[in-house]
A and B are shown apart, each in its own frame.
Chain A
Amino acid sequence: MLRLLQLELQKLLLNRASKVLIFISFVLPFFVIILSSLRIDFFGFFTLELGHYGLFNFPIVWHITTFFASQFKFFFAIVVVSMIGNEYSNKTIKQNLIDGLSKKEFILSKFYTIVFFSAIATFLIFIICLCIGLYYSSINEPSLIFRETEFLLAYFVKLVGFFSLCLFLGMLVKRSAFALAFLFVLYILEWIIFGLLTWQTNIDIAEKIQNFFPLKSMYKLIDQPFQRIAISKAPNGQEFMYDFAVHWYEIAIVLGWTALFIFLSYRLLKKRDL
Chain B
Amino acid sequence: MESILTINNLTKKFGYLTAVKDLSFTINKGNVYGILGPNGSGKSTTLGIVLNVVNKTQGDFHWFDGNTSTHDALKKVGAIIERPNFYPYMTAEQNLKLVCRIKDVNQSKIAEKLEIVGLLDRKDHKFKTYSLGMKQRLAIASALLNDPEILILDEPTNGLDPQGIHQIRAIIKQIASQGTTILLASHLLDEVEKVCSHVVVLRKGEKLYSGRVDEMISSHGFFELKAEKHEELIQILEQDTSFGNVKVEGQLITAFLNQPMDAPSFNKLMFEKGIVLSHLVKRKESLEEQFLQLTDHK
Which positions in A face B, CB cutoff 8 Å? 3, 6-7, 10-11, 14-16, 86, 90-92, 94-103, 105, 270-274
- Could you name 26 residue pairs across A and B whose Cβ atoms are closer than 8 Å? A3-B101, A6-B101, A7-B101, A11-B87, A11-B98, A14-B87, A14-B90, A15-B89, A90-B86, A90-B88, A91-B83, A91-B85, A94-B53, A95-B86, A97-B74, A98-B51, A98-B52, A99-B74, A99-B102, A99-B142, A100-B73, A100-B103, A102-B71, A273-B48, A273-B53, A273-B54
**Residues B104 and A99 in contact, CB atoms below 8 Å apart:** no
Query: Could you say which residues of chain B place their CB within 8 Å of the CB of A86?
Result: 87
A132: shortest Cβ distance to chain B, in Å? 37
Give A14 to B124 CA distance when docked, in angstroms.
13
Say yes or no: A271-B55 contact (C-beta < 8 A), given A16-B89, A100-B72, A105-B71.
Answer: yes
Query: Could you say which residues of chain B place their CB within 8 Å of the CB of A100?
Result: 71-75, 77, 102-104
Say yes or no: A92-B89 contact (C-beta < 8 A), given A98-B53, A100-B102, A101-B102.
Answer: no
Interface set, chain B 88-143, CB cutoff 8 A to A = 88-90, 94, 97-99, 101-104, 142
B64: shortest Cβ distance to chain A, in Å? 13
Give A14 to B81 CA distance when docked, in angstroms.
25
**Residues B54 and A274 in contact, CB atoms below 8 Å apart:** yes
Among A10, A15, A98, A105, which residue has its beta carbon within 8 angstroms of that of B98?
A10
4 nearest A-B pairs in the assembled complex, by CB-CB distance: A100-B75, A102-B71, A100-B74, A95-B85
The chain B residue with its CB closest to the CB of A17 is B89
Of A7, A103, A273, A274, which is in contact with the most chain B CB atoms at under 10 Å from its CB?
A273
Query: Could you say which residues of chain B place their CB within 8 Å of the CB of A10?
Result: 94, 97-98, 101
10 A-B pairs besides A11-B87, A14-B87, A100-B104 with CB distance below 8 A are A7-B98, A14-B94, A15-B87, A91-B83, A92-B85, A98-B51, A98-B74, A100-B73, A102-B70, A273-B48
B200 at the interface (CB under 8 A from A): no
Give A97 to B69 CA distance when docked, in angstroms.
13
